[in-house]
Amino acid sequence: MYGSERAGDDAERTAFRKSEKKYKLYYENNPKSSKKKKQPKHVDLSEVLDFKFISELYNQKGELPPGVVHVNRGIDRSIFGLENHPGFYFIPGALTLDEQCKWIRESLTNFPQPPNRTNHNVIYGPISNLFAAAKEGKVFVEEERSNNDLDSDSNGSVSNGDSHRWKFYEEDIARSRGKTCKLVPASVLLRKLRWSTLGLQFNWSNRNYDVSLPHKKIPDALCQLAKRMTAPAMPVGEEFLPEAAIVNYFGSGDTLGGHLDDMEADWSKPIVSMSFGCKAIFLLGGKSREDEPLAMFLRSGDVVLMAGEARECFHGVPRIFTDEENAEITPLESEFSDEDDRCFLDYIRTSRININIRQVF
Annotated binding-site members for Fe cation: 259, 261, 315
Q: Is residue 23 a contact residue for ligand SIN (CB under 6 A)?
A: no
Phi, psi of 282, rounded to the nearest 5 degrees: -110, 135
Specify the DSSP class assigned to residue 151. G
Nearer to ligand SIN, 3 or 67 (CB): 3
> Minimal distance in Å, beta carbon 282 to ligand SIN?
5
- Residue from 49, 310, 317, 357 in contact with ligand SIN (CB under 6 A): 317
Query: How many residues form the binding site for ligand SIN (CB under 6 A)?
Result: 10
The residues pairing with 203 across neighbouring beta strands, listed in sequence order, are 208
Nearer to ligand SIN, 186 or 246 (CB): 246
Q: Which residues contact 300 (CB under 8 A, 6 or more apart)?
A: 100, 275, 276, 277, 278, 279, 328, 329, 331, 332
> Minimal distance in Å, beta carbon 170 to ligand SIN?
35
First to last CA, the chain: 17
* Per-position DSSP letters for 3-72, written without gaps between them: GG---SHHHHHSHHHHHHHHHS--B---TTS-GGGPPBPP---TTSB-HHHHHHHHHHH----TTEEEE-
- Give Cα 231 to chain centroid, integer Å: 22
154 by Cβ neighbours in 10 Å (0-12 / 13-18 / 19+) ranks as exposed
Write out the H or E segment, with its range, that includes residue 288.
Answer: none
> Minimal distance in Å, beta carbon 214 to ligand SIN?
23
Helix, strand or coil, per DSSP, at residue 213: coil
Encoded one letter per residue, x for contact with ligand SIN by CB under 6 A and - for no contact, window 213-252 reads -----------------------------------x----
Nearer to ligand SIN, 169 or 202 (CB): 202
- Residue from 23, 282, 297, 321 in contact with ligand SIN (CB under 6 A): 282
Encoded one letter per residue, x for contact with ligand SIN by CB under 6 A and - for no contact, window 120-159 reads ----------------------------------------
Q: Is residue 354 a contact residue for ligand SIN (CB under 6 A)?
A: yes
**Site residues (vs ligand SIN, CB under 6 A):** 248, 256, 273, 275, 282, 298, 315, 317, 354, 356
